[in-house]
Amino acid sequence: MGNSGGSLTTRAAGELHQLMRAAGFTGIDDTRASVKGWQVTDFADAGPSSLANLVRRLGAPALMVSYVDSDVGLVEALTPDGGSWEGLLNPELAESYEIPVEHFPVEAAVAGALAWSAAAGLTPDEEAVRQALTGSELFAEELSSALLTALGLPEGT
């Protein structure tokens, strides 16, 4: 059985764990810091409004990936001005979990991802974003790392 928690990527100047708990995240694990203030934090669970609550508290863009047994990743991203997008990692395996792939159109996700990246002050690679959202890997976490790099996040995020 694989990972069934999630990971959160954002910029935060203050105590991210405390802000995440206040926003409704549980089982918060270590944070991996990167350059330019970007951080990745693993968590066990998040409520339906946790990401929106956190973005509102931080005033910074954030991207969350919720994993289903490390096979599939459900991506949700928000910006403080209300920009949002959703995507699916490892879509080939999603149907085995009864996840409706048609609810995650690739071109809409790519467009949303590019807008999110620009709002975050990053420089995305459109083709690499599309490849991460349509690709297949043994573990969805591998596609998540590829997506973060494609969005222009600093190496090591």
- H helix or E strand, kind and range, residue 148: helix 140-150
Is 133 inside any structural domain?
yes
Is 156 inside any structural domain?
no
- H helix or E strand, kind and range, residue 119: helix 106-119
The tokens 């928690």 sit on which residue? 5
Closest among 125, 127, 133 to 150, alpha carbons compared: 125
| Length of the chain counted residue by residue | 157
Is 1 inside any structural domain?
no
Is 124 inside any structural domain?
yes
Closest among 88, 16, 90, 20 to 54, alpha carbons compared: 20
Number of domains in the chain: 1
Is 155 inside any structural domain?
no
pTM, 2 dp = 0.93
Q: Which domain holds residue 47?
A: 6-150
Query: Is it the case that residue 147 has pLDDT exceeding 90?
Result: yes
Average pLDDT for the chain: 92
Band (pLDDT 50/70/90 cuts) for residue 1 is very low
Is 107 inside any structural domain?
yes
Which tens digit of pLDDT belongs to each residue from 105-144? 999 999 999 999 999 999 999 999 999 999 999 999 999 9
- Cα distances (Å, whole numbers) of residue 134 to 1, 69, 141: 23, 18, 14
